[in-house]
Amino acid sequence: MGFLPALAAVLALAASPAEEPFVQWAEAPGAASSEDVRLLQQATEALKAGRSASEVLVDPAFMPIHPRTEFRKLIEAHAAPGTLTLAGPREPGTRLTLELVFKDQAGRPVADAVVYAYHTSAKGWYAAEGAHVRANSGDVNHARLFGYGRTDDQGKLLVRTIRPAGYPHSELPAHVHLGLRVGGEPVAVGEVRFQDDPRMTPEMRKQSLEEGDTIVRPQVQADGSQRCLAEFQVRVAASRGSRSPSAPSRAARG
């Protein structure tokens, strides 16, 4: 290699960003700092002033308190039907619109159910500082990209977010975790997984379907974003129709 090509190669290497080191575990939130308390108060005031849960969720100012239980309860208390936005424009990744539809055993819409959605980032991490949160049900309780919404009269909720990635150093396909509460009680519901995921082998597809997951086919939109429909049939107690629980959500299993 001559001098100039060698120099160009060295400069290109120096200019390329260093690969981010992999971190397996992030710590769960500890005692709230004075800054945490200030941000929690600001989020409370913003919601009281009429800002939606989605607007607060995607506000970069509140991102540091996303893992905190107090913030999550605040968002849950303001869950609303229509559209739930988990990821703002600054969040890296392919934009994804996920239409969730829940029906009971008789095919009736499950209306006014509380939906909890959470997933990894575009690099497969639940936390900002690591792939998983070191705590009991750490990812379930502290995932950075999360939100709560309610189904409408047709049992639908639109979720706007980014396409999650699978866990690093794993063969498990990327997925969106869902929790569902009907009449205040948990109802079992599977995950959303993606047909075009390279990890979705025939064996994994079979396993996913056996576990009650919904495998979606994302449709690429003109703007490069993706959109998909995920329909779930959930078991609810016959005595209370589509507003009754039957079993804990799979979200609790990580």
Q: What pLDDT does residue 3 have?
A: 53
Residue pair 110/234 in contact (Cβ under 8 Å)? The answer is yes
Burial 91-114 (b: 16+ CB within 10 A, else e): bebebbbbebbbbbeeeebbbebb
Residue pair 213/190 in contact (Cβ under 8 Å)? The answer is yes
> In a 3-state reduction of DSSP, which class is residue 75?
helix
CA 104 – CA 155 distance, rounded (Å): 9
β-strands 214-216, 156-162: how paired?
unpaired
Structure tokens at 97: 């619109």
As a dihedral over the C-alpha atoms of residue 194, residue 196, residue 201, residue 206, rounded to 10 degrees, the angle is 40
**How many CB atoms neighbour CB 72 within 10 A?**
20
Task: Enter the CATH code of domain 80-254.
Answer: 2.60.130.10
Question: What sign has the CA pseudo-torsion 49, 185, 248, 155?
Answer: negative
Residue pair 33/143 in contact (Cβ under 8 Å)? The answer is no
Average pLDDT across each block of 10 residues of the chain; the chain has 254 residues. List them in order: 50 52 96 98 98 98 98 98 97 98 97 98 98 97 98 98 97 98 95 98 97 97 98 79 39 44
**Would you kindly state where each structural domain of the chain is located, as residue ranges?**
35-78, 80-254
CA 40 to chain centre: 21
Q: What pLDDT does residue 19 have?
A: 63
Of 91, 76, 215, nearest to 145 by C-alpha is 91
Q: What pLDDT does residue 252 have?
A: 42
Question: What sign has the CA pseudo-torsion 123, 174, 97, 245?
Answer: negative
Burial 124-136 (b: 16+ CB within 10 A, else e): bbbbeebbbbebe
- Type of residue at 161: T
Of 175, 208, 188, nearest to 250 by C-alpha is 188
Burial 215-239 (b: 16+ CB within 10 A, else e): bbebeeeeeebbbbebebebebbee
CA 67 – CA 44 distance, rounded (Å): 16
> How is 165-226 classified by DSSP, letter by letter?
-PPTT--PPPEEEEEEEETTEEE----EEETT-TT--HHHHHHHHHTT-EEE--EE-TTS-E
**How many CB atoms neighbour CB 77 within 10 A?**
11
